[in-house]
């Protein structure tokens, strides 16, 4: 036993890239093996956080001139939340306490493209906030919001 824990510590300390790769592998396996209830809970928590960060971003963009840190922080969280949604829609997770339509899995390719576009759009908002251009933040935010609305109209139940 002692030998195994020593070996694990040595790998972690001496090979941080190996450790990082193992961490990424375990995260991807976890998302694929996520149960339906866990997936629904993750989605709901993530969308709730996204909604709050969009509100924070809107408020920060309303300031003249905008505080770049106040814009950057919600933009970073929006990117993280968008990425967290990948893998959170296992097949069959339209049943239960969720607003996800079954149509997601029938049009999976379109849904997946929209997820990737959400990430790319969120990264554009973040890039604009890092550049300090309030006009670019507003333009990229409009694109992000349009993508969100389009996906919700197609794939989210209204109740």
Using DSSP, state whether 156 is helix, strand or coil.
Answer: strand
- Residue 49: what pLDDT? 96
SS3 92: coil
Q: By the 8 A CB rule, do 57 and 75 touch?
A: yes
Q: Could you state, in order of their start, the residue ranges of all structural domains in the chain?
A: 1-33, 35-155
pLDDT of residue 39: 93
Cα separation, 54 vs 76, whole angstroms: 11
CB 49 within 8 A of CB 77: yes
Q: Residues of the chain with pLDDT > 70: what percent?
A: 76
Tell me the whole-structure pTM to 2 decimals: 0.74
Above 50 in pLDDT, residue 21?
no
Whether the CB-CB separation of 86 and 46 falls below 8 Å is answered with no
User: How many Å apart are CA 107 and CA 75, to the nearest integer?
Assistant: 29
Superfamily in which the 35-155 domain is placed by CATH:
Cytochrome c/b562 (1.20.120.10)
């Amino acid at each position: 036993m002692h030998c195994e824990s020593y070996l694990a510590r040595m790998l972690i300390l001496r090979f941080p890239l190996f450790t990082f790769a193992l961490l990424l592998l375990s995260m991807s396996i976890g998302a694929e093996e996520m149960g339906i209830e866990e997936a629904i809970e993750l989605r709901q928590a993530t969308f709730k956080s996204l909604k709050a960060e969009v509100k924070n971003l809107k408020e920060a963009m309303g300031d003249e001139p905008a505080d770049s840190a106040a814009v950057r922080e919600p933009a970073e969280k929006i990117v993280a939340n968008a990425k967290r949604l990948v893998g959170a829609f296992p097949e069959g997770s339209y049943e239960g306490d969720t607003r996800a339509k079954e149509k997601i899995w029938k049009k999976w390719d379109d849904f997946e493209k929209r997820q990737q576009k959400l990430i790319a759009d969120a990264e554009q908002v973040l890039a604009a906030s890092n550049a300090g251009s309030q006009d670019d933040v507003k333009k990229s935010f409009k694109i992000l919001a349009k993508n969100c609305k389009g996906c919700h109209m197609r794939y989210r139940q209204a109740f």
